Amino acid sequence: MKPEKLGYRAAVGVMLLNRTGEVLVARRIDMIDAACPWQMPQGGIDKGETPRQAALRELKEEIGTDKAEILGESRMWLKYDLPVELADGVWGGRYRGQRQKWFAMRFTGNDTDINLATAHPEFDAWKWIRPKQLPEMIVPFKRQLYIDILVEFHAYCAAALAP
């Protein structure tokens, strides 16, 4: 089926902010785009799961910690389309991209609480970056999504600095 005829996979994303207002990004093992292999934690919503439950589960599954508190969530579902050359290989060719509910979260743990050696590792490195660096870190087809997230969660970046 042509990608434009397919629907979007329901998913969540997490902008995890530390106490200094930096955002966690992790480097994908599969490196879809070697020039931009970094992303924020994200993943699909399981059947019977709320977006909030999925966001907390994905955080634990992808970066090995649940030490976070939700600051807020995106007002709308945000979406992106996969490039045509990737659409057949990602998610078995069933989706044209993802529609995601995003969550801003404050990291309440210490850096030692982050452990990428999870049951099904997706990342091989992680780091904290300034929020404005996000668009340059992500694959081009997700760049506008990250810009939209930054606009919506701008106030939460400052809120991460609060006690």
Average pLDDT over residues 38-56: 96
pLDDT of residue 33: 59
pLDDT of residue 35: 62
Nearest to 98 by CA among 79, 73, 71: 79
The pLDDT tens digits of the residues spanning 102-138 come to 999 999 999 999 999 999 999 999 999 999 999 998 9
Q: Which two tokens stand for residue 88?
A: 């057949």
pLDDT of residue 1: 53
pLDDT of residue 57: 97
- Residue appearing with tokens 């649940």: 66
Name the CATH architecture for the domain at 3-159: Alpha-Beta Complex (3.90)
Burial profile 92-115: b = 16 or more Cβ within 10 angstroms, e = fewer: eeebbbbebbbbbbbbeeeeeebe
pLDDT of residue 161: 59
Using the predicted structure, report yes or no on whether residue 159 has a pLDDT greater than 80.
no
Alpha helices in 6-131 (DSSP H): 51-63, 84-87
The pLDDT tens digits of the residues spanning 58-77 come to 999 999 999 999 999 999 99
To the question of pTM greater than 0.75 for the whole model, the response is: yes
The pLDDT tens digits of the residues spanning 22-39 come to 999 999 998 665 667 899
